[in-house]
Structures are given as C-alpha cells and as structure tokens.
A and B are shown apart, each in its own frame.
Chain A
Amino acid sequence: MNNIIKMAARNLRRYKRRTLLTSILITLGVVAVLLFISVSGSFKALMIGQITDSMMGHLQIHKKGYLASMDSLPLNRNLQEKQIAKIRGLLDGNDAVEAYSMRLKLGAMFSNFNETTNIRLIAVNPKQEILAAPMLQDRFLQGEKEGLLAKGEILIPELIAKGMKVKLGDSIVLVATNKDGSVNGQSFVVRGILEGISGPGGRDGYIHLEDAKSLLRIEGKEISEIAIRLKDMGDLEEVFATLKTTLSSFKNKKDKPVFEVHTWEKLSPFSKIAGMIDLMTLFIKVMLVAIVLVSIMNVMVMSVYERINEIGTIAAIGTKPGKIMALFLAEGLLLGVFGTMIGVVLSLIGIMIMNVSGISFDFGRQKGLMLAPTIAATDVVMVAAIVIAIAVLGSLQPAWKAAKMDPITALRHV
C-alpha cells in the first residue's frame, strides 16, 4: 500500500500545475464550507443563546391549551397549586435540570399619568428567574441589574420607555383585568429599562410575581408557565422526551392530558431561521461535493487518457488490474487529502483571525452583536471525510477504466 501511495504521489507531481489547480479548488471549497459553518454556527448559537438564556429557557411547561391561546394571555389556563407541585416534583428529581422559573403572564394598561398604552408583562420570582434566564440582566440598558427587581418595581422594555417618555425612578400605574372580569390598578416604580430582543416575549416588561398576584387578585399559587434551563443544551431532546412522556400520564377527569411541554424551538420563530441556516449549510456542502467530484473526475479522466500506453506497460509486465485501480484511486485520495489538509489549516487560521479582529453585526433592532466563530472538531472531521471520500469516489470511474484496459490496445495507443 505504501508503495502504491508513493507511486501515486510521483504521478501527481508529474503534472504539477494541474495537481496544484485541483488542490486549490478543493482547498477553496473546504475553506468556504468550514468558514460558513463556523460563522453561521456562531450566529445560530448567539441567537439561540440570547433567546433561551435571556428570556425563554430551554423548555417550557404550560397547562394544556395555553400555547394555542397565548396571544390573549388567558388567565383561565393557569397552572394551579397541585399541578405546580407535581411539576416541581418532576423537575427537582431531574439531574439534567439546572433551574426553573415560575412565571405568570398578563396583559395590562400602562399609564404614566399622562398617556396610556398596552403592555405585556411577565411576573417572576427574581431569584428563580436569574437562574433560569441568566442573561436577562444583560438586557438592562439602564437601572440596577443586581437582584433583578423587588416588589413594587417594574422593568420596562426600551420601546415603551421611549414612547411613554418614562425614566428610571418614575412612578407608573398598571391596570389589569382580573380573572373575574373586574379591573385593578397598582403603582410601580421603574427599576430598569430592558433592551428588546427578537422573538415572542422579547419586548415584555417584568414585575414581581407577588405584585402580579395582588394586581390580579389571585389567592394561592397560580402561574402561567414554567421556564426550564438545562445544565447542557445537548440533553434537550432527551429531557424533552422524558418530560413529555411523564407529563402526558397526568390526565384530567375527561382523561385528557393536563400539561403540555415545548422546547424553545417550538416557541420561537428563530428556530425556522436556524432551520434555514442548517439547510444552507447542507446546500453549501452539496456544492462542495459537486466541486470536488467534478474536479477530481476531470483530472483523473485526463490522467488515465494521457497514460494509456503506460497503463498498457504496467499491465503487460504483470501488474494486477486491482493494483492499477488502487494506483489511480490513491492519486484521487492524495489530491483529496492534500486539498483538505490545506483547506482545514487555512480555515482554522481564518477563524482565528475573525475571532481576533472581532466581527459585529446588527440583527433587527439589536446592534453590535459580536460573532465568535468556532468550529467543532466533529464538523472538521466530517467535512474532511466527505471531501476525501468524494475524491476517491470521483477517481473510481477513471480508475476502473484503467484497470479494465486491454493491455494490447493500451500498448498500441500513441
């Protein structure tokens, strides 16, 4: 095998320019794919991180049917005390769960005593929320982020703060409709102004859970959702499956499931963008495969054609067809390996340069998001393996042709 590789390397060196051009083509393809994977992957991870870590959590549990009517923030589909206790029992016993936060979602009228507007609010226990959505504090544009918020305080989204000309420390009034249809008002002090982010809930305000209960005149424990943060996002599918199975066993009197559980992907429209990114990555990979396949096939077909007489000679002196085939496959393999190795090295250098220079971009209203491109070893190995396998595959037909060549015909070829 070693000798076949040596011979193949010699043969590649005889057409230096052609070998170089083909290798450059493969290298460019590998660089394009790896850089795309690293940049798009970084963008995806950044956006997913923002959505899950600053707002949504990795999973959410609601009462069955809540999600379908989420836009109207229905109070009659809240989880009750006994149901909450069951879920807490499940989550506390799951080692993959890092934290969870009980939330009550509501709509209210927001008044600065001069003007009134609508606001969507998430009422939270600050301690729980900080653990379940650790990046929420990073969304503070103004105000004291330590401790998130206390009773009587409100965090308002940037758009409402600007629109209603509300500053830190200002008093505002929230008026909300209770479950029984009556209305109630309560004053709050503006503790912080939050940066809006993409996705549902990205422009909601925050108040303390106890304040929400008094505003809505709720007695006892009652929440709309439980946002769950996992220790490792890689466990998402497994935890989701476990929770789904367990929660579906809780049935109401009509033998219907009481709870529903969803991953962030189901809850956020960004999962569609993430899906598009994955599709684009696949498309780029297919293009790479096409580039490698066509360029290698072209080179190897030429190589066989130019060496017909030589193939006749080596066949005549007793080289077995299998070895002739191996010789040409090895040439394709070496071209693939050579192009891939250079491509991987250049890509890693490129990724390093991008990280050192810092790439910022704007996404919607979010300005100056910093990309930190990285690439997983598995991605590098997978791309390299695909390219090398395709290089060998591209050599297969010419190599087969060489191996099957009639020595006499080949020796007569001029």
Chain B
Amino acid sequence: MSIVVARQLCKDYVAGDIVVKAVREVSFTIEPASFVSFVGPSGSGKTTLLNMIGCLDPPSSGSLEVAGKDVTGLNSNKSAIFRGENIGFIFQDFNLIPVLTVFENIEYPLIMVQNWPVQKRKKQVEKMLEAVGMTDQGHKYPNQISGGQKQRVAVARALVTNAKLVLADEPTANLDRKTASRIIDLMKAMRDEFSTTFIFSTHDQRVVKNAEIIFRLEDGELQTESNGQGGDS
C-alpha cells in the first residue's frame, strides 16, 4: 500500500480579487520507506504540497490519501490526531521548545500527543537519543547545543512516535555543509532502521543528491519525477 497517493491535487489561495494557484492538479504516489525530495524554485509550491501531505493545509480540490486514509476533509481536531499518530515533522529552524531539555523535547509528543506510560516513553526516548547519537546530551537545553545537534533532536522527536512518514521542510537550510551532510546521513540511517518514509522540500543539492525519488515542481505543477542518485533503481 502506498504511503501517499495524490490525485489531481490543487491548492488555491485567495488574496482579495486575486486567486493564486499554488499547486495545480498534481498527482503522484509515494511508497513506504522512500527517501523523497520535492525540489523547485521559491514559490513553486513545494512547501504547500508538504503542508497538504502533513494535513496542515487542506487541498482546494483533488484527493489525498496518507497512510491509507483519505485526509482531504479532516477538521482541525481530527487532522491533529492523525498527524500525532502518523506524521513526524522536521523544521528548517529546528523548532525545539526552549523550556524543555533535549530529553523532554523528544519526549513531548509521547506525553502531549500519544500519552505513553512513563517507563515505556523513557525507554523510547533513550532509544531515540542513542539512534541520533545524543545519549549524553539529554539533560541539556536547546540553547546549550549546536545547530546540528538541534536538528538531530528534531529528527529524534519526529521519529519517537514511530511515525510512518516524516516531512522535512528545508531541513538543512540553517546548517553548515558538514553538519548538513551528517544530518542527511542520519535521516537516511533512520529510514533504514525504522522503515520510515522521508519527504523533503529543499533547494539543497546535497539533499537532492541523496534522494531516491525526486519530484520537480514549477509554478505549482509537477514537471518531472525521477530517480535520484541516492536510489537503488
């Protein structure tokens, strides 16, 4: 079963009398455990598409299935529940909660979203800390760690709920070359370990290079779908 199935997906924004077509009749399918990148210039509709897949923004028309569920008409509460159960997010600015430690940031979705019991979530967080190589940093606050470490924490937070799908909007934009490369390697390793699907929107050629499937967008239209260098096929 495909993890994402989009059919004739459209997204229009209305500003006064002007209708901006951000995404135009886009159709694609993404299989589980893929490493997928949406690329294209600014304003091409990458982030909008990612937001729709992430159930943050409803499509104007067309249909969208994520993890086997039609998410087209979910209300805000149901889409929040769906996101909490199925989707992890990685943000360009890391978006860690400053008052929580690294451990607590990773733990947050297990407490506030999925309500795991204490012992089970402690084990899970420790497992994720180890997976992203932050075992000895759990007690630190976000302002006490580097940008690369913050993004590692964000990766761990996205995966801690055993999400089927992780959406990353420009995940390496605020990282230096070396760190960005490590983060990409980490995400790929996570994909291999947890069989999670990673979908990116990016300008970063290093990310594009590592993608197995690349969707090129221009003016809201899907131009090409190709296999990247990171793919086996």
Chain A interface residues (CB < 8 Å from chain B)? 3-4, 7, 10-11, 13-14, 309-310, 312-323, 407-408, 411
Contact = CB atoms under 8 A, between A and B. Distances in A.
Nearest to B98: A14
Nearest to B160: A317
Contact of B56 (A4, A7, A407): A407
A320 B77 contact: yes
6 contacts: A13-B99, A318-B81, A318-B84, A320-B113, A408-B57, A411-B91
A318 B109 contact: yes
A74 B138 CA distance: 91
A317 B113 contact: yes
The 10 closest A-B CB pairs, nearest first, are: A318-B84, A313-B95, A318-B83, A318-B113, A10-B99, A3-B111, A320-B80, A14-B99, A316-B89, A407-B56
A318 B85 contact: yes
B108 interface: yes
Contact of B76 (A14, A313, A321): A321
Contacts of B20: none
A315 B55 CA distance: 11
A11 B80 contact: no
Contacts of B113: 317-320
Contacts of A317: 83-84, 88-89, 108-109, 113, 157-158
A141 B220 CA distance: 100
A409 to B, nearest CB: 10
A318 B82 CA distance: 7
Contacts of A11: 99
B80 A315 contact: yes
Contacts of B88: 317
B112 interface: yes
Interface in B109-152: 109, 111-114
Given A309-B93, A313-B89, 7 more contacts: A317-B157, A317-B158, A318-B81, A318-B87, A320-B80, A321-B77, A408-B51
Given A318-B84, A318-B85, A407-B56, A7 B77 contact: no
Contacts of B81: 318, 320
Contacts of A316: 54, 56, 83, 89
Nearest to A309: B95
A310 B97 contact: yes
Greatest chain B CB density within 10 A among A313, A315, A321 is at A313
Greatest chain A CB density within 10 A among B83, B91, B111, B112 is at B112
A119 to B, nearest CB: 78
Contacts of B80: 315, 318-321
A313 B97 contact: yes
Interface of B: 51, 54, 56-57, 76-77, 80-85, 87-89, 91, 93, 95, 97-100, 108-109, 111-114, 157-158, 161
Contact of A314 (B56, B108, B158, B161): B108
Nearest to B47: A408
A3 B112 contact: yes
Contact of A408 (B56, B77, B108, B157): B56
Contacts of A411: 91, 95
A315 B82 CA distance: 12
Contacts of A310: 95, 97-98
Nearest to B112: A319
B224 to A, nearest CB: 27
Contacts of B82: 318
Greatest chain A CB density within 10 A among B82, B93, B95 is at B95
Nearest to B169: A411
Contacts of B100: 10
A322 B77 contact: yes
Contacts of B108: 314, 317
A323 B112 contact: yes
Contacts of A309: 93, 95
Contacts of A10: 99-100
A362 B99 CA distance: 56
A411 B51 CA distance: 11
A14 B143 CA distance: 13
Contacts of B77: 320-322
A310 B95 CA distance: 7
Contacts of B161: 318
A321 B77 CA distance: 7
A14 to B, nearest CB: 5
A312 B91 CA distance: 11
Nearest to B89: A316
Greatest chain A CB density within 10 A among B57, B80, B91 is at B80
Greatest chain B CB density within 10 A among A10, A314, A317, A408 is at A317
A316 B158 CA distance: 11
A11 B112 CA distance: 15
A408 B167 CA distance: 14
Contacts of A323: 112
Nearest to B100: A10
Contacts of A315: 80
A40 to B, nearest CB: 43
B89 A7 contact: no
A411 B56 CA distance: 11
A43 B141 CA distance: 55
A351 to B, nearest CB: 38
Contacts of B157: 317
Nearest to A407: B56
A312 B114 CA distance: 18
Contacts of B76: 321
Contacts of A14: 98-99
